[in-house]
Amino acid sequence: MAADQAGPVVTTPYGAVRGRYERGIAVFRGIPYAAPPFGPLRFRPPRPPEPWDGVRDAGAFGPTAPKPPYSEAFARYLSDPDIPGDDCLNLNVWTPEPGPGARLPVLVWLHGGALTRGSSAVPVYDGGTFARDGVVCVSVNYRLGVEGYGLFPDAPPNPGLRDQLAALLWVHETIAAFGGDPDRITLCGQSAGAISAGALLAAPRTQGLIRRAVLQSGPPEVSDRDKVRRVVRRMAARLKIPATAEAFAAVDRGLLLRTQAEVGRLGSPVLGGPAFGIVVDGDLVPGDPLKALAEGTAARDAELLMGWTRDEYRLWLVPGGLLERVDRLGAVALAGAMARCHAGHDIPRGYRVLHPGAGTAEIVGQMVTDHLLRVPLHRLADARPGASYLYEFAWPSRLPGLGACHALELGFVFDTGDVPESEKLAGAGAPQELCDAMHTAWVRFAATGDPGWAAWDATHPVRIFDGGEPRVACGPRDAEVALWDTASAVPEPPRHSVPRAPGAELASAVRRLRRSVDALRR
């Protein structure tokens, strides 16, 4: 490492970069880890960047991947900077001690956003707080939406996930020059970033690269290929072009993003519908990552820190007044949730018994959250006792109706609860003691593999972060999870099949609820 009056200089495999010192932390932003994914590289796996001569300035965040903006209802709560430019496959490094020899633990952050939005430039993700506490932090931009997860007959699947792999390989090869230890990499993500982290942790090509992983509000999973194809086909129908990568590459980028946003209105995390996702590709993702991790055929020795927020679903139901609409729809909304989860009638009955004062929206939200998130994480922890640590974030936002919603924990993990972008979701005055507790647990886990409470065992310990004194509850979600193990469930219909009566009434209910969602989003 060298330094001059402008800041620290580090040499990467493709050229030297000059960062900045901020509050005693060396920060390098916008470092390219792959070539711009456009022109002949569009919809293709990432390629190495072109080397550069001299010292490249790394003082500002690089371009973000193409993405549509959040709707007005969601933009009130979530920030998503849009930085123009083609060189969007870039990353940022915060380090307290640039230069070889420090061998500090490394945390690699994958942002969320349903694989369609988000970036490493969100101020909540300021890695300087981790560097301040002795952890080198790296945050990554990757392709999103149809550019990163469209499924085409003439292009390889999962280019966005392949971007993340390229970034991970860059970190493993280069991070020692920034003071990090390539043998102590923790891969951390939230929501879609957690799903991505789980897929990479299970990938044969990453074995030996990842020491441990943090999965926040996202389980290891893959999407049905037909579901992803439907998004592409609906976009193609609106654009009046073939559903091929070649045809999509010829479309104006702005028009492509607007079309993607229009089609995306028809789905939601609660109700399902067509959506982009990681798919089994026989290469990077050879099979179900949850199964590989649970059976110990992948990342056998990796420690896992996993968890959820108490009221995940409220981020999708509160904006635009959908929470009240679901309560008014009553049985129709419940039918939609049952279809989404392929659940029999015993499961909602069980939730009514466990939560006798809950309204329909809460029952629907908790059912879907448990089915998609808590049940798979429980089962993964059961398969890896002694190496899994679970948490629940239960502190409610100070903003009306949000509760402990999806993404609320991020300002606490990064200890950035006082930045305006965190306050958009949490409100003003987030308790600093909760920031300290949660951030310290993540730092400890990245450094040692132990966040500070008991590992998962037969008693099912879960660390509850709620703003009070630190506490561990044993099996706080066991009763709900047990419903999915014991209650009758509706078998998932075979792919390509068309549901027949008596499922027609249920399908009609789901369509009615989706129309209500679409009306609110307009």
402 Cβ neighbours under 8 A, 6+ residues apart = 77, 311, 314, 315, 318, 396, 408, 425
Question: Burial level of 133, CB count in 10 A (0-12/13-18/19+)?
Answer: middle
**Catalytic residue at 406?**
yes
Instruction: Quote the CA–CA distance of 179 and 49 in Å, as a whole number.
Output: 23
Euclidean distance between CA atoms 114 and 406, whole angstroms: 12
Identify whether 392 is a catalytic site residue: no
Rounded CA-CA distance 201/293 in Å is 8
- Both tokens of residue 454? 């008991």
Which candidate in 191, 223, 422, 516 is catalytic? Answer: 191
With contact defined as beta carbons under 8 Å apart, do 165 and 292 qualify? no
**The pair of three-digit structure tokens given for residue 286, joined into one six-digit string:** 């050879």
How far, in Å, are 69, 78, 112, 268, 375 from residue 74 at the CA level? Answer: 10, 6, 14, 13, 27
Check 312, 362, 409, 480 and give the catalytic one.
Answer: 312
- Give CA–CA dist 366/370, Å, rounded: 6
The one-character DSSP state at 475 is: S
Q: Which helix (H) or strand (E) holds 228?
A: helix 225-239
Local structure of 62: helix, strand or coil: coil
Asked if residue 110 lies in contact with residue 197, where contact means CB atoms within 8 angstroms, the answer is yes
Residue labelled with tokens 């995940």: 312
223-229 LR contacts (CB < 8 Å, sep 24+):
223/275, 223/276, 223/277, 223/278, 223/279, 224/279, 224/495, 225/151, 225/279, 225/280, 226/495, 226/496, 227/274, 227/275, 227/277, 228/149, 228/150, 228/151, 228/274, 228/275, 228/276, 228/277, 228/279, 229/151
Residues in the chain, overall count: 522
d(CA 174, CA 12): 6
247 in Cβ contact with 151 (< 8 Å): no
Q: Spell out the alpha helix ranges (H) of 399-502.
A: 410-413, 420-426, 432-448, 478-486
- 406, 421, 460, 480: the active-site residue: 406
Residue type, 125: Y
Q: What angle do CA 276, 277, 278 make, to 5 degrees?
A: 145
Local structure of 51: helix, strand or coil: coil
| 196 part of the active site | no
Catalytic residues: 191, 312, 406
